[in-house]
Amino acid sequence: MVHQHRQGEGDLRELRKEVDLARILAHAKKKGVGIWLWAHWDAVDKHLEEVFANFQKWGVAGVKIDFMERDDQAMVDFYQRVAESAARHQLLLDFHGGYKPTGQSRTWPNVLTHESVMGMEYLKWSARTTATHNTVIPFTRMLAGPLDYTPGGMRNMRPADFVPQYEGPPVPHTRAHQLALYVIFESALQMLADDPAAYRGVKELPFLKAVPAAWDETRGLLGRPGRFAVVARRSGSDWYLGAITNGDERELEIPLDFLPAGGYSAQGGQTLTNPPRRTRAPNPSPDNPS
């Protein structure tokens, strides 16, 4: 598609010559993979029906719409028009760079998630998305509905050694912390935020493949904003339990008396007490995946 970062640029009815979108979509279909496209909201709004009709004809699965960044009456109307049009054209939606959810997905279940949170992308230019910050989100932003936080950072380092960088950004959290976010932070569309090469050969990959994005039951078990949070979610007969702390080491006794009577087996993730020190994380490559 036309690459557009600013309002007023680009036409989503045109294709970039250097991107063979038809071939990408055909290859993805053979692999059983749905392709989402990213777009600036203004480009979507200019030719909404024509653009979404094209996306449906091409076999696009969904659209990540970005840079709304306001919640006035005109923008709220845009959300409604986009959700309705996308549903008619069998497209899923992720409202990125916009206001928090307000229950719209109950009317339009094709609206899977919203950003509306200081998520992982902030680590490209700041150190604000800390472990402490993450323990606050379940008690604040998450009360409004699903959030597109984009977890999954595999280049982990101590907060004291963390240096923001735009290319190949590291994260000042442990891998166990990152995995737990897939359980604690609800989103019907979850992301693997890191470079694909960063996941090659890591022992956490089976969990990332298995963890659901939709749940049948949720239990908030323990927590204190800014200190820790523990959430359990059920998919079918399987329970997933996510626990994060603000960086302070702690032991918690987690109540599991909500589980039905019966026998259970458990698999857990663990993290090195002292993750490796690095002042700068290298960009991943096939020869250096992590």
Residue among 45, 66, 115, 194 flagged as catalytic: 66
Neighbours of 270 (CB within 10 A): 8
Give how far the C-alpha of residue 33 lies from the chain's centroid of Cα atoms, to the nearest Å: 17
Active site residue 66: yes
| Rounded-to-integer distance, Cα 97 and Cα 75, Å | 12
Residue among 45, 115, 121, 195 flagged as catalytic: 121
CA triplet 39, 54, 79: central angle to 5 degrees? 45
- Contact between 60 and 35 under an 8 Å Cβ cutoff? The reply is yes
- Contact between 244 and 134 under an 8 Å Cβ cutoff? The reply is yes
What is the CB-side half-sphere exposure of residue 67 using CA atoms within 13 A? 14
26: tokens are: 């055909």
| Rounded-to-integer distance, Cα 38 and Cα 196, Å | 18
Give how far the C-alpha of residue 110 lies from the chain's centroid of Cα atoms, to the nearest Å: 16
Active site residue 42: no
Residue numbers annotated as active site: 66, 121
